[in-house]
Every structure is written in structure tokens, then in C-alpha cells.
Amino acid sequence: MKISQNIKIAVDAVVFGYQQKELSVLLIKRGIEPFKGAWALPGGLVLENESLEHAVERELLEETGVTIDYLEQLYTFGTPKRDPRNRVISVTYFGLVSPNHFKISADTDAAEVQWFPIHKLPKLAFDHNLILTTALKRLQSKINYQPIGFELLNQEFPFSDLENLYQTILNQKIDRRNFRKKIMSFGILTETNKIHQTSSGRPAKLFKFNAKKYKELEKKGFHFEIKFA
Amino acid sequence: MKISQNIKIAVDAVVFGYQQKELSVLLIKRGIEPFKGAWALPGGLVLENESLEHAVERELLEETGVTIDYLEQLYTFGTPKRDPRNRVISVTYFGLVSPNHFKISADTDAAEVQWFPIHKLPKLAFDHNLILTTALKRLQSKINYQPIGFELLNQEFPFSDLENLYQTILNQKIDRRNFRKKIMSFGILTETNKIHQTSSGRPAKLFKFNAKKYKELEKKGFHFEIKFA
């Protein structure tokens, strides 16, 4: 290669979770300079021989203790001065988890790790606020045409959790009756015979997402699609 | 940065055009090793202080003579062995042009430049066939919900060109009557008073895409959306 290049490659992860009825994101407190003490997305430099996907899974596990099955590539951020040390290009990923399934614990370059509600975010290191906003927009667009919301919920959930999840992600009130009608019409939710005691004392049935049924329907040309006027 | 890294960053561009009723892609013949003499996507290494967007526009201009207003980031390809020389991560972009507006001419690392119909592609260097397939899928999905097809046509076009464009991109027959009805119902095409003489001798009105009207409608919550069963 005839031109010399001194650019580093990093990966960063935006991991969304849903807890206490709020959409949250997994952040680490930086234990090293630059931005030591600031909150940031988990991530770090790619090792010489690992794939980008491996790099982001490794960094996430090292810095937060979270193992994630599916991370989707979000966008590559490469503005020349985004890192004060050196030119660093970051290939970013986003993923969805149910926070209850993980015990988070900081290590390596991370001094602390914490879930932050999306509406109460601190100022982040580097351009990480921009990365997070990009991921949030992708999530907001994607939940309308793919049943990815279920990955954020417990395996069995009262319908009101799903409703509230959409409301919090889209940051808008939704017409509950139409939403329920629409979702139920897809036939991808299975009613369990378990009952959940709501805080108001009213019992509510628990539902499960039927991934097998969804795959069958998808093969037949079914499109999951929710529209909010 | 505590770890040493010897990874290079490149950009590659998938530029689609529409000519002689076929969707085409702009390829260069490599003038240098590796894959000397093979066809490939235009692209190259990012310079130390330029943005990724600048890099891809520069490479495209250098290697093909094409200036493009809007390139959208597609995906970042980073499999460790994708380049035989060195580890190279490629941030890829895709764009749409009307080929009539450009005179293509090869230079720098490109020995030749040519438009190839999408259904008659040669085997490409590196993982460029995979990059191209990824771009094609993005285009096929995107023309259903954004009026990007017009960027591929002349400014004034007979309706049959738009119809044929969708058929060639989606690689399927479409119901012409429903398609026309749907598109016309959006109110984003302006009828000019010019007439186009078709090869069959039947005169056809020319249309123009009304970008201003589209933007107005979009602000009011209008979604461009075409569905093919």
C-alpha cells in the first residue's frame, strides 16, 4: 500500500435495555484518559486478527459483563478529530437485551458500569452522544417494521409492558386500543395461562412472543408493520 | 493507545446508474496488484486528515471521473483476510446517478472504467461482489419507501421509464396499472407539456419529479410507500 496511514479502528456498542418502564442504555465510566471519569459507550480498539463483530462482543464482555447474541452494525463514525489522541474510526453496533438477564460488572478500562434511562443521560465522552442518538433513531424506526421490541421484555409479559415499551421508545402516547388490536391480529403472541398482578391490583394475563410462528408467517410474505399516525 | 494496530482503512463506492433500460453499476479495472486486471468497485485508502465522505468522493472522482452529490454509508466490511496484502477495513457507500450526466474516465489506480448491467457482472476483486449484493439489497428495500428512484432517471421521463426502473431493480414484473395509480396518487409527479416519441411510435407525456412538493408532503407526515405483493 503506497500511502502511509496512522488511523486506528475501534468498535463501540449501544446496548438498549428496558427496565422500570424506561428505555435504558448501558454506559461505562471511563477509568483512563482521555475523558477519565466521564460516561461513555462500552468499546475499544480492534485487535489485529479479530473480526469487528468479535471485537465488539469482547469489549462489551470485558467492560460490562454483558454477553449479547446479536449486535447489528449501526454506522461508522470517522470525523478526523473525534478522538483527541489520534485519529480513531469507530464502527458502532447496537443491540437489545433484557437487563434482568445480566449482572453487570465493570472491568479493564471501565471503572463503573450502569444502566441510564434514555431521558436522563449524562454528557458522554467523545462523540458518543451522537452515536447514541443515531442508535435511538434506528431503534425507533425499526420497531415499526420488525418485532424486535420483544427482545427487551421478559420472556413472559403483560400486554401493558409491550404498550409501554413502544410509548417509551417512540416517546409518544399511542392509541392503546388500536395498538392491541393490531398486534393481536398478527397472531404472533401466545397467551400463557399465567397471571400477573399489576400494581393497581388488577390481574393481567401474561403473553409470550411466538418466534416460530413469526418466522412461518414471514416466509409466507407477512410484514410486521405498525403505524402511528 | 496501549495496543498496536496495523489495520488500514479504505472506502469503496457502489454507484448505481440506469441506462438502456437496465440497472447498472460503475466498475473500474484494476491497474495495480493485487487483482490487477480484475474489475472492482472504485475506492481506496483514506488519507490521514480527510473525512470518510471526502475520501470516497475523492476516490470516485480520481478513478472514474464521476462527481456525486450524495453518497450514503452502506456498511463496513472488516473480515480479517479480505485483502491479501494487509488487513484493510472498508467503509462502503452507495449512490445513485443518471449516467447521461457524466463522462466517465479512468485514472490513478484504475486502468479502465465501465458501466456494467447488474445482471451481467464479472467476478469482482476482493469481497466486492458481496459489497455489491449488500448495496443492491439496500436499494431494493429503499425504493419502496423513499422516492430515490428519480435520481436514476433523466430529469424529464416518460412514465414507462419509472415503471421499468422498478421492474429492473426489483427484478420482477409489476402490475403496471396499480403502480401508476399509486404513484400518481402521491401527487409528487408533475406532468410537463413535452412529448416523448417511444420506439413503438406511440407518443408519451414526459413527467418530472416534484421534490419541493414531496418535501412539503413529508413535513405533513406523508410516507412514500409502494408495496408489491
Find the residue in B nearest to A91 (Cα): B76
Q: Using alpha carbons, select from B165, B146, B169, B145 the residue that is nearest to residue B154.
A: B165
Mutating which of B2, B3, B4, B5 best tests the A interface, going by the most A Cβ atoms within 10 A?
B5
Residues of B with CB under 8 A from a CB of A: 1, 3, 5-9, 45-52, 73, 75-76, 78-80, 85-89, 91, 221, 229
Q: φ and ψ at B40, to 5 degrees? A: -155, 170
Inter-chain residue contact B1 with A73, CB threshold 8 Å: no
Peptide bond into A34 cis (omega under 30): yes
Residues sharing a CB contact under 8 Å with residue A217, sequence separation 6 or more, in sequence order = A186, A187, A188
Chain A nearest-CA distance from B149, in A, is 21
Mutate to test the interface with B, among A2, A4, A7, A131 (most CBs of B within 10 A): A7
User: Which one, of B28, B19, B134, B127, lies nearest residue B72 by Cα?
Assistant: B134
Give CA–CA dist B211/B213, Å, rounded: 5
* Interchain proximity A51–B79, CB inside 8 Å: yes
Count CB-CB contacts under 10 A for residue B4.
Answer: 8
Condensed to tens digits (0 to 9), the pLDDT of residues B2-40 reads: 567 899 999 999 999 998 889 999 999 999 999 999 999
Q: What cell does A221 get?
A: 410474505
Shortest distance between the Cα of B73 and any Cα of chain A, in A, equals: 8
- DSSP label at residue B122: P
The catalytic residue among B112, B151, B156, B218 is B112
The confidence score (pLDDT) of residue B3 equals 66
How does strand B7-19 pair with strand B87-97?
Answer: parallel
Q: What is the pLDDT of residues B66-112, one digit of tens each?
A: 998 779 999 999 999 999 999 999 999 999 998 887 788 888 888 89
Contact B80 A3 (CB under 8 A): no
For residue A205, how many C-alpha atoms fall within 13 Å in the half-sphere facing its CB? 7
Question: Is A5 in Cβ contact with B45 (below 8 Å)?
Answer: yes
- Which three-class secondary structure string do you get for chain A? CCCCCCEEEEEEEEEEEEECCEEEEEEEEECCCCCCCCEECCEEECCCCCCHHHHHHHHHHHHHCCCCCCCEEEEEECCCCCCCCCEEEEEEEEEEECHHHCCCCCCCCEEEEEEEECCCCCCECCCHHHHHHHHHHHHHHHCCCCCCHHHHCCCEEEHHHHHHHHHHHHCCCCCHHHHHHHHHHHCCEEEEEEEEECCCCCEEEEEEECHHHHHHHHHCCCCCCCCCC
User: Which residues of chain A have a CB within 8 Å of the CB of B5?
Assistant: 8-9, 45-48
Between chain A and chain B, how many beta carbons pairs sit less than 8 Å apart? 77
Is residue B168 within 8 Å of residue B157, measured between CB atoms? Answer: no
* Residues of chain B with C-beta less than 8 angstroms from the C-beta of A45: 1, 3, 5
For chain B, what percent of residues have pLDDT higher than 90?
Answer: 65
* Closest chain B CA to residue A82: B51
Report the pLDDT value the prediction gives residue B114, as an integer from 0 to 100: 95
The catalytic residue among A112, A156, A163, A218 is A112
In chain B, which residues have their Cβ closer than 8 Å to the Cβ of A73? 75-76
Q: Chunked in runs of 10, what are the mean pLDDT values of chain A (229 residues)?
A: 82 94 94 94 96 96 89 96 94 92 83 93 97 96 88 91 92 91 91 82 88 89 75
Q: How much is the pLDDT for B197?
A: 77
CA distance B71 to B58: 12
CB-based contact B89:B78 (threshold 8 Å): yes
Residue A112 appears among annotated catalytic residues: yes
CB contact under 8 A, A46 and B76: no
Q: What is the rounded average pLDDT for all residues in chain A?
A: 91
Nearest CA in chain A to B92: A76
Q: At what angle do helices A159-170 and A128-142 cross, to 10 degrees?
A: 130
Chain centroid to CA B200? 29
Which residues, in sequence order, are CB contacts of B104 under 8 Å at separation 6+? B26, B64, B65, B66, B113, B114, B115
ipTM: 0.89
pLDDT value of position B146: 87
Separation of alpha carbons A31 and A38, rounded Å: 8
pLDDT of residue A57: 96
- Percentages (nearest 5) of helix, strand, coil residues in chain B: 30, 30, 40
This prediction has a pTM of: 0.91
d(CA B216, CA A188): 37
Mean of pLDDT over chain B: 91
3-state secondary structure (DSSP) of residue B32:
coil
**pLDDT, tens only, B45-70:** 999 999 999 999 999 999 999 998 77
**What confidence score (pLDDT) does residue A62 get?**
94
Give the Cα separation of A212 and B134 in Å (integer).
26
Q: Cell 479502528 maps to which residue? A: A9
Contact A9 B86 (CB under 8 A): no
Place of cell 428505555: A23
Contacts of A28 (CB under 8 A, 6+ apart): A39, A40, A41, A42, A63, A64, A106, A109, A110, A111, A112, A113, A114
Look at residue B44 and tell me whether its pLDDT is greater than 90: yes
Q: What is the pLDDT of residue A38?
A: 97
CA angle A89, A95, A97 (to 5 degrees): 145
